[in-house]
Amino acid sequence: MKSSAIAVSGLRKTYGDKVVLDGIDFEVAAGSVFSMLGPNGAGKTTTVNVLATLATPDAGTVRVAGHDVATATKQVRAAIGVTGQFAAVDELLSGRENLQLMADLKRVRSGGRVVADLLERFDLVESADKMAATYSGGMRRKLDLAMTLVGRPRIIFLDEPTTGLDPRSRRTMWAIVRDLVAEGTTLFLTTQYLEEADQLADRIVVLDHGRLVAQGTPDELKRRLPGTHVRLRFTDRSALDAAARILPGAARDEQELILRVASDGESKSLRALLDRLDQHAVNAQEFSVHTPDLDDVFLALTGRPSTEAISQ
Ligand SMILES: Nc1ncnc2c1ncn2[C@@H]1O[C@H](COP(=O)(O)OP(=O)(O)OP(=O)(O)O)[C@@H](O)[C@H]1O
């Protein structure tokens, strides 16, 4: 089993009398992508701030890279990189100068080479000597992430890395994330986008009003919903009628000649379902298992649609 890069237990954080994190627990395996999903104000940035030693917890234990954030701030900081919604990019410097500044701050040896490699890797060579103020949102995020990588951190926090980016820049960012994981980096990703968590994460936690309302792999979260069902499509009405008689409780769609049967999607129940149809000599033209997507999960867990679903 992989060791934990991050271990959080009973984490609480309040601002004044507002409880922002209400006792949360989770672990992040080294070399994995862990995604914290939640709507605006759920407490995601606060979690990142605590893990990154930028805010102190009121209660609970938090270990990052094997060190306690409360007592070993320096060691934690040496192991992590943070890219956030408020980018560290200096608008008045060029991309190259921003990176060079970071390399100097971190006293990186052969900083010039490191900077050149990062510009190349993030496809920023052409704009390297232009002021960052002239960069697009996507380029700025890439520069921000490149700056984070200067010190080769083992654990990277990406706080909503693609919020506000167009689909193409978002996909570029995803490709970069996948490359980093392939190199063994651990990524803690906060996002409001279900698709992003679904695409990238090995494990997801869903945060709502400072509490974790669910955690698991993307597939586990989807399976936990009651909504998994089998769709059977028939060639004619009489076959649909016959199937509906055999499978009471199934929802029928008269126009599409479809029957939806609740199922856990496991092979045993699927076989039993098909056997029943077979015993009554009823044939379905099409047969598919529908697993709910993360939007469905979010709605079921929080009682609200996700931000992504609302904006669509
Ligand atoms: N320094 C602070 N002082 C007071 N309240 C704060 C502070 N930081 C955050 N909060 C409050 O804590 C709650 C959670 O904020 P947080 O930024 O962690 O949420 P989030 O999930 O990251 O949301 P978003 O997606 O909007 O960034 C909000 O209600 C916010 O107003």
Give 1's pLDDT tier (boundaries 50, 70, 90): very low
Give 93-127 pLDDT, tens digit per residue: 999 999 999 899 888 888 889 999 999 988 899 99
Query: Are 20 and 70 within one domain?
Result: yes
Give 242's pLDDT tier (boundaries 50, 70, 90): very high
Tell which one of 11, 12, 14, 46 to mutate to probe ligand 1, the residue whose CB is within 8 A of the most ligand atoms.
Answer: 46
Query: Are 155 and 244 within one domain?
Result: no
Residue nearest to atom 9 of ligand 1 (CA): 46
50 lines ligand 1 (CB under 6 A): no
216 or 312, which is more confident? Answer: 216
CA distances in angstroms from 129 to 99, 121, 259, listed in the order given: 11, 16, 61
Q: Which domain holds residue 30?
A: 4-222
> pTM for the complete prediction?
0.77
Query: Are 218 and 233 within one domain?
Result: no
CATH number at residue 174: 3.40.50.300
Is residue 30 pLDDT above 80, yes or no?
A: yes
Atom of ligand 1 nearest to the CA of 38: 21
Residue nearest to atom 26 of ligand 1 (CA): 40
Residue 308 within a domain: no
> Average pLDDT for residues 270-287, to the nearest whole number?
95
Query: Are 79 and 152 within one domain?
Result: yes
> Average pLDDT for residues 254-277, to the nearest whole number?
91
Window from 129-133, 220-224, 233-237 with minimum mean pLDDT = 220-224
CATH number at residue 252: 3.30.70
Residue nearest to atom 31 of ligand 1 (CA): 41
145 lines ligand 1 (CB under 6 A): no
pLDDT of the residue at 141 = 87
Query: Are 24 and 144 within one domain?
Result: yes
pLDDT of the residue at 311 = 53
164 lines ligand 1 (CB under 6 A): no
Q: What spacing in Å lies between the alpha carbon of 69 and ligand 1's midpoint? A: 20
Query: Are 154 and 81 within one domain?
Result: yes
Is residue 173 pLDDT above 90, yes or no?
A: no
21 lines ligand 1 (CB under 6 A): no
Note whether 178 and 148 are within 8 A (CB): no
127 lines ligand 1 (CB under 6 A): no
pLDDT of the residue at 85 = 59
Tell which one of 20, 206, 209, 302 to mutate to probe ligand 1, the residue whose CB is within 8 A of the most ligand atoms.
Answer: 20
Q: What spacing in Å lies between the alpha carbon of 287 and ligand 1's midpoint? A: 46
Residue 310 within a domain: no
Query: Are 217 and 234 within one domain?
Result: no
Q: What spacing in Å lies between the alpha carbon of 289 and ligand 1's midpoint? A: 39
pLDDT of the residue at 51 = 95
Window from 167-171, 265-269, 303-307 with minimum mean pLDDT = 303-307
Give 36-72 pLDDT, tens digit per residue: 988 888 899 999 999 999 999 999 999 999 999 999 9
pLDDT of the residue at 305 = 67
Residue 131 within a domain: yes
> Average pLDDT for residues 148-161, to the nearest whole number?
90
Query: Are 112 and 168 within one domain?
Result: yes
- ipTM score: 0.92
| Domains in the chain, number | 2
Residue 282 within a domain: yes
84 lines ligand 1 (CB under 6 A): no
